Chains A and B, each alone.
Chain A
Amino acid sequence: MVENRRWLNLLTHAVLLLGLAVVALPLWMTFVASTLGPGELINPPIPLLPGSHLLANYGEALSSGMARAGGVPVGTMLFNSLVMALGIAVGKIAISVISAYAIVYFRFPFRMTVFWLIFVTLMLPVEVRIVPTFQVVSSLGMLNSYAGLTIPLIASATATFLFRQFFLTVPDEYLEAARIDGAGPIRFFRDILLPLSRTNMAALFVILFIYGWNQYLWPLIVTTDEHLYTIVMGIKGMVTVSDEEPNWPIVMATSMLAMLPPVAVVIAMQRLFVKGLVDTEK
């Protein structure tokens, strides 16, 4: 569309601003709420400008916030979430990229069968297989452990399909040139295929990191030890304290903290995306 009418410009900007407001307002409210003193939130009208308790609230959230509600400090939960999200993202990418490599570049019996079996796991996310998975994890003694938190979520090679499609677009000549250059399967994988997949892996890493970070149901089921609680569980726990009003400013400060790592990952990886898009390395 090359139309350049003034009112059309205004209209499109208005729509964009409206959209931005819809997305940003809750975030802003969360931030505002996280800077208020206790009790300031309870009485209407809800303030729209930040208050003066920013440092105090965040300090409390990080050190002892939940402790008062009978739990663990936010720092621990952030760490647990980080381990879980990183484990899932790294683990899934590693498994997928290796299995896609096997399927695309090696001829072995039942290759397509294996591929379709992997493909079928796309239809079986954790939520669907949660009961049997819990059974397995529990009988393996992996309850209340990082392994129990991450491995069951890693064990579906959903990204295999994506890497397979990508590998199929990599020209055969690279493999042939590498064979002539004396690179065996491992070297070819490490020196040529992995660097070429860099941008794909970055994209996938972002998606999987956020997927792992946002897990709620699975950690809720496998952890009973609060030292392994993740931040998403923790926020939920802070809201449902039994006999007192939840300490909303602290809850909001915790929420803000919980948002930071995914944002950081997106920002860090975005540079790789853009770079990958600008210089098409194929």
Chain B
Amino acid sequence: MAELHLNGVRKVYAGGVEAIRGVDLEAEDGEFVVIVGPSGCGKSTLLRMVAGLERTSEGEIRIGERVVNDLEPAQRDIAMVFQNYALYPHMSVFRNMAYGLNNQGRPKEEILERVQRAARMLQLEGLLERKPRQLSGGQRQRVAMGRALVRDPKVFLFDEPLSNLDAKLRVQMRVEIKALQRGLGTTAMYVTHDQVEAMTLADRLVVMNGGVAEQIGRPLDIYQRPATRFVAGFIGSPSMNFLTAAVAADGRSLELPGELRVPLSARAGPTAGRQVTVGVRPEHLHLSPGSGPRLTLSVGLIELLGAETVVYGHPAGHEEAVTLRVQGVPEVTEGQDLELGLDPAHVHLFDARTGRSLSHPDDGGAV
């Protein structure tokens, strides 16, 4: 058990690809850190640098009190769960789990006891003599977890461990992973591109883009106060609606095409005439417009999900498509014109050029 510190970490691959462009990250003891981001943003690279599988080009990685930059993976006191599990195919489940302990030269009884305890926790007791190929995907996943567990490491590292499972099993394993990690109180670093996993698992969420951490924070904070347009669009499903707008001459409101005006709260102070991007989450548009600003939407596709309904459409006078998410099953038909209410309190403003948030300028990570 230990804290994890990343300090100005950079990674340049041999070919000159700069995969990580300077990441600072701190995880407290026992914290569950989730790294989320689009494909190719450097999530795996960052995790593998912590594991010691990739050299760190610059910066410092610290686990507990130790700087681990120059240590071999086995010396870092970490355990890793791979996306395709990487179980040794010729070894039994028991041997797979015991291999790391064997290499540490632990006594036989201790190995036996530790493996059995891990097997009990993961309900693998009856499977210890099987080979990996005789297991289902979910069981393999458990064995991979078990292999990490028996080592009793300071940090667990997970690289998209659930992406090979079907949807139902994924939910189940997600809950189990969280419960296990809580129970053991071990610091964990978890890479995923599934934002439900990210939101539910994380104590601390890192949203990465193009090799930098765009924002680091608690999941809800990131949802409520995204620091950049990218984060706003990436977190939340369906993703946030973006409309271009300009600040009115008096600096008090926003002018959007279609005669739409949105009053600006005092806290955001963009200068008059400035181009901005307005962001509104689909769940913050509502069907019963009050006295506030409203948006006329000509309805396109409708997705009925039962508990909620997602409506896609085009607002009058705007280029961008708009998504609306409402509870239950509303009375909406395709082709209809809908009047939508827009709550100014839930409007996010972003600089049209840099993408930085104008509503929450103080949040965010190492941008």
Interface residues, chain A, CB within 8 Å of chain B?
Answer: 171, 173-174, 176-183, 187, 191-192, 195-196, 198, 279, 281-282
Count the B residues whose beta carbon is within 8 Å of the partner chain — how many?
23
Q: Which residues of A contact B182 (CB under 8 A)?
A: none
Cβ A180 vs Cβ B79 within 8 A:
yes
User: Interface segment, B26-34, B99-107, B117-125?
Assistant: B99-107
Contacts A174-B88, A187-B103, A192-B88 hold; do A179 and B82 have CB atoms under 8 A apart?
Answer: no
Taken together as a complex, chains A and B put the C-alpha atoms of A71 and B124 apart, in Å, by 65
Known pairs A177-B82, A191-B99, A281-B89. 15 more at Cβ < 8 A? A173-B82, A173-B86, A174-B88, A176-B73, A176-B82, A176-B86, A177-B87, A179-B73, A180-B74, A182-B74, A182-B103, A183-B99, A183-B103, A195-B90, A279-B133
Query: B227 in the interface, Cβ–Cβ < 8 Å?
Result: no
- Nearest B residue to A187 via CB reads B103
Q: Which residues of A contact B264 (CB under 8 A)?
A: none
Cβ B100 vs Cβ A180 within 8 A:
yes
Q: Which residues of A contact B212 (CB under 8 A)?
A: none
Please encode chain B, from 76 to 87, with 1 for each CB lying within 8 Å of some chain A CB and 0 for all others: 001110101011
Cβ A181 vs Cβ B99 within 8 A:
yes
Cβ B90 vs Cβ A179 within 8 A:
no
Which 10 pairs between the two chains have the least Cβ-Cβ distance? A182-B74, A173-B86, A181-B100, A182-B103, A177-B86, A195-B90, A281-B89, A180-B73, A179-B73, A181-B99
Q: Which residues of B contact A191 (CB under 8 A)?
A: 88, 99
Cβ A181 vs Cβ B86 within 8 A:
no
Taken together as a complex, chains A and B put the C-alpha atoms of A279 and B7 apart, in Å, by 47
Query: B53 in the interface, Cβ–Cβ < 8 Å?
Result: yes
Residues of B97-141 at the interface with A, using a CB-CB cut-off of 8 Å, are: 99-100, 103-104, 131, 133
Query: B72 in the interface, Cβ–Cβ < 8 Å?
Result: yes
Q: Which residues of A contact B52 (CB under 8 A)?
A: 179-180
- A-B pairs with beta carbons under 8 Å apart, 18 shown: A174-B88, A176-B53, A176-B80, A177-B82, A177-B87, A178-B99, A179-B72, A179-B74, A180-B52, A180-B73, A180-B74, A181-B74, A181-B100, A181-B103, A182-B100, A198-B90, A279-B131, A282-B89
Cβ B104 vs Cβ A182 within 8 A:
yes
| A105 → chain B closest CB, angstroms | 14
Cβ A171 vs Cβ B84 within 8 A:
yes
Query: B51 in the interface, Cβ–Cβ < 8 Å?
Result: yes
Q: Which residues of A contact B104 (CB under 8 A)?
A: 182
Cβ B88 vs Cβ A173 within 8 A:
no
Q: Which residues of B contact A177 (CB under 8 A)?
A: 80, 82, 86-88, 147
Cβ A173 vs Cβ B84 within 8 A:
yes
Cβ B100 vs Cβ A196 within 8 A:
no
- Nearest B residue to A176 via CB reads B53
- Nearest A residue to B98 via CB reads A181
Cβ B89 vs Cβ A196 within 8 A:
yes
Choice from A180, A183, A195, A281 contacting B51 with Cβ under 8 Å: A180
| B59 → chain A closest CB, angstroms | 21
Q: Which residues of A contact B80 (CB under 8 A)?
A: 176-177, 180
Taken together as a complex, chains A and B put the C-alpha atoms of A279 and B147 apart, in Å, by 23
Taken together as a complex, chains A and B put the C-alpha atoms of A181 and B51 apart, in Å, by 11
| B99 → chain A closest CB, angstroms | 5
